[in-house]
Structure 1
């Protein structure tokens, strides 16, 4: 199973998002120093979930990072997170 698929499944099961975009941006970092050539090293996540209601941006990011801890330790070099509660502006 790909890292992208594992991340998507973990976030879906734990946070029941109304929107989830997991974008593999690894191709944008090919050949960069310290960038592994795995093809699954850099990701951008946009997630909208009731689980983020009343939480600060830091709390939201910590929650996502905890859920994806194994992936962050085992191959993901960079993870950009946009975590919103329903009704918040996504931009």
Structure 2
């Protein structure tokens, strides 16, 4: 099983801003996924903007990977988009799980 992080939406293929890793993630894998994408750099704060709650983003990635490993009947999961509010709360706006 694989996990992908990056810019989503209808332009995902055009923007080519994703990183994939095995769902058997370690902390450095998650850091590499985030840091290797443009959106990962943006969410860490650009030009004085406040960073999103990066530990919570990492928890989302880690927990999603673990869910996939714990439930082999899951064939595909899509969380797109994740919305970060002004007070740094994170919500999955649209979730699709295919078994």
Q: TM-score, normalised by structure 1?
A: 0.34
**Larger RCO of the pair (alpha carbons < 8 Å, separation 6+):** 1
Q: TM-score, normalised by structure 2?
A: 0.32
